[in-house]
């Protein structure tokens, strides 16, 4: 069996499962955020029961701090729900950050676990060897009440990325390269498993980026086999025990894709789909905004890369560009301050904010006006994703975002620093 099949079998109490089989499985954790929480709470109240406290995680992140009365009401409903039932795992403003970063930082995500969340990028935890996937608010309510959920066992695809990555090439480039190859429906309801030297050599941060964007290929989940780097990260962090899961040597895959890491370059996904992938060096587009942050690329490693580009170039953000930097969590923000990264960003005239999803979903604090273009480290560039329907979003890794902020146009950092 593949990793996804083994995890589903274990949580369904079965010896084995097969693709397309329907199973009822026990869930380790269910997460809702401030946007998806309110409808989940409304459905939950109809059950006339109490939530399973140890499995429920509530995180305020999309409109943090609240931007208007509507978002304030959403946040209020979460606080009231948490207080009414005594839910201990509630991360409010100033005490957490972007939901997927918190699920990992706080030790909820771990190898072999089955985790669901009312947010499509819940697949991020596959970076630690978990099977995690997004669900609807009504399903989240049902899991909080019963601790179980039904699944159709997904077919699995194998992606092997061998060789060494070049300078300024990150996990974002790997997953965009793959999506550019197979398309946004190339892994529809499939489990993506990632292998190869290039994957094994990545920091957890880049692995999270890859698993996070599996959903942009239509996948049910994106899983990377856990190794010593993951086990070390989880020491003194993970909640409870966990059991790593690996695919059998004779596991059956729907198909296998192989890539040469040395041929992957810093790329950009142009509007309006993540599959529109082009080398950054081949794009000459002026930008109005550069955004660094989100559940995809707002971790300390991402901030270090961007700060190094700014410092290496010895220049400030282009006068026609606004750069917005948003660490993914309070912990990341604190680490960035200790390392002097916040100072580097501010000295370069970037705007630094506390952890929030805000601009990524076009919610607030970075919304684009008509005709504006943004190079962004986020995960989606759909029409109107970050603001006006006639604005444009270009997806790129943190190094490209920083280099572009300096020049005022989409820029490969290699051209800026070594050209």
In this prediction, residue 92 carries a pLDDT of 95
Instruction: Tell me the C-alpha to C-alpha distance, in Å, between residue 158 and each of 35, 151, 243.
Output: 33, 21, 22
Tens of pLDDT, residue by residue over 184-198, are 999 999 999 999 999
Provide the domain limits for residue 30: 3-259
Please report which confidence band the pLDDT of residue 358 belongs to, taking 50, 70 and 90 as the band edges: confident
Number of domains within the chain:
2
204 and 279, same domain (yes or no): no
Domain boundary among 210, 234, 259: 259
**Is the CB of residue 318 less than 8 Å from the CB of residue 349?**
no
99 and 215, same domain (yes or no): yes
308 and 205, same domain (yes or no): no
Domain boundary among 226, 259, 292: 259
In this prediction, residue 414 carries a pLDDT of 94
State both tokens at 332.
């990341």
**How far is Cα 312 from Cα 406, in angstroms, rounded to an integer?**
11
273 and 255, same domain (yes or no): no
pLDDT score of 53 more than 70? yes
pLDDT score of 360 more than 90? no
Please report which confidence band the pLDDT of residue 223 belongs to, taking 50, 70 and 90 as the band edges: very high
- Hey, how many other C-beta atoms are within 10 angstroms of the C-beta on 404? 34
Beta strands in 96-146 (DSSP E): 114-117, 131-134
- Percent of the chain having pLDDT more than 90? 96
Q: What is the mean pLDDT of residues 80-102?
A: 96
**376 DSSP β-pair partners:** 291, 395
State both tokens at 393.
């979003």
pLDDT score of 211 more than 70? yes
Residue 79: burial class (beta carbons within 10 Å; 0-12, 13-18, 19+): middle
251 and 293, same domain (yes or no): no
Domain boundary among 259, 287, 310: 259
226 and 161, same domain (yes or no): yes
Tens of pLDDT, residue by residue over 149-159, are 999 999 999 99
CATH number at residue 106: 3.30.499.10
46 and 190, same domain (yes or no): yes
**How far is Cα 376 from Cα 323, in angstroms, rounded to an integer?**
10
State both tokens at 171.
């996990």
Scored b (16 or more CB within 10 A) or e, 304-341 reads bbbbbbbbebeeebbeebbbbbbbbbbbbbebbeeeeb
Q: What is the mean pLDDT of the chain?
A: 96
In this prediction, residue 419 carries a pLDDT of 62
241 and 280, same domain (yes or no): no
Name the DSSP class of 286: B
Tens of pLDDT, residue by residue over 233-275, are 999 999 999 999 999 999 999 999 999 999 999 999 999 999 9
Q: What is the mean pLDDT of residues 80-93?
A: 96
In this prediction, residue 299 carries a pLDDT of 97
294 and 213, same domain (yes or no): no
- Percent of the chain having pLDDT more than 70? 100
pLDDT score of 315 more than 90? no
Taking the alpha carbons of 393, 396, 402, 407 in that order, is the dihedral positive or negative? negative
231 and 331, same domain (yes or no): no
148 and 252, same domain (yes or no): yes
**138 DSSP β-pair partners:** none
**How far is Cα 413 from Cα 419, in angstroms, rounded to an integer?**
9
**How far is Cα 166 from Cα 242, in angstroms, rounded to an integer?**
34
Q: What is the mean pLDDT of residues 377-393?
A: 94
247 and 304, same domain (yes or no): no
Please report which confidence band the pLDDT of residue 313 belongs to, taking 50, 70 and 90 as the band edges: confident
In this prediction, residue 418 carries a pLDDT of 78
**Is the CB of residue 143 less than 8 Å from the CB of residue 55?**
yes
In this prediction, residue 120 carries a pLDDT of 95
**131 DSSP β-pair partners:** 114
Beta strands in 196-253 (DSSP E): 221-223
Among 124-133, 341-350, 359-368, the range scoring the smallest mean pLDDT is 359-368
**How far is Cα 232 from Cα 145, in angstroms, rounded to an integer?**
33
In this prediction, residue 364 carries a pLDDT of 87
In this prediction, residue 417 carries a pLDDT of 82
Q: What is the mean pLDDT of residues 282-295?
A: 96
Beta strands in 215-349 (DSSP E): 221-223, 255-260, 267-269, 277-279, 289-293, 322-326
């Amino acid at each position: 069996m593949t990793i996804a099949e083994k995890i589903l079998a274990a949580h369904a109490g079965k010896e084995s499962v097969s693709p397309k089989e329907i199973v009822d499985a026990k869930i380790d954790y269910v997460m809702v955020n401030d946007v998806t929480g309110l409808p989940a709470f409304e459905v939950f109240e109809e059950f006339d029961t109490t939530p399973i406290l140890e499995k429920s995680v509530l995180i305020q992140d999309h409109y943090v701090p609240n931007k208007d009365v509507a978002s304030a009401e959403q946040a209020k409903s979460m606080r009231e729900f948490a207080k009414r039932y005594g839910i201990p795992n509630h991360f409010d403003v100033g005490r957490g950050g972007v939901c997927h970063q918190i699920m990992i930082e706080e030790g909820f995500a771990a190898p072999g676990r089955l985790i669901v969340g009312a947010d499509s990028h819940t697949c991020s935890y596959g970076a630690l060897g978990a099977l995690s996937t997004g669900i609807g608010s009504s399903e989240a309510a049902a899991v909080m009440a019963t601790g179980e959920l039904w699944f159709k066992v997904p077919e699995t695809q194998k992606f092997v990325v061998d060789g060494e990555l070049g300078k300024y090439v990150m996990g974002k480039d790997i997953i965009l390269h793959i999506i550019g190859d197979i398309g946004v429906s190339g892994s529809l309801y499939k489990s993506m498993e990632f292998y190869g030297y290039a994957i094994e050599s990545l920091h957890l941060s880049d692995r999270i980026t890859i698993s996070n964007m599996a959903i942009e290929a239509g996948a049910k989940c994106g899983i990377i086999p856990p190794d010593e780097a993951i086990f070390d990260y989880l020491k003194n962090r993970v909640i409870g025990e966990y059991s790593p899961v690996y695919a059998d040597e004779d596991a059956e895959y729907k198909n296998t894709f192989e890539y040469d890491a040395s041929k992957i370059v810093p790329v950009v996904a142009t509007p309006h789909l993540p599959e529109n992938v082009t080398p950054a060096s081949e794009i000459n587009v002026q930008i109005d905004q550069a955004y660094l942050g989100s559940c995809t690329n707002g971790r300390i490693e991402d901030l270090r890369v961007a700060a190094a580009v700014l410092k290496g170039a010895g220049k400030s953000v282009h006068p026609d560009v606004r750069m917005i930097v948003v660490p993914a969590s309070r912990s990341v923000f604190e680490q960035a301050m200790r390392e002097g990264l916040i100072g580097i960003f501010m000295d370069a005239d970037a705007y630094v904010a506390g952890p929030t999803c805000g601009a990524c979903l076009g919610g607030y604090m970075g919304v684009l006006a008509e005709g504006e273009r943004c190079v962004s480290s986020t995960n989606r560039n759909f029409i109107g994703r970050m603001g006006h329907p006639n604005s444009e979003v270009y997806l790129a890794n943190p190094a490209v975002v920083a280099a572009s902020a300096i020049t005022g146009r989409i820029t490969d950092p290699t051209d800026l620093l070594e050209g």
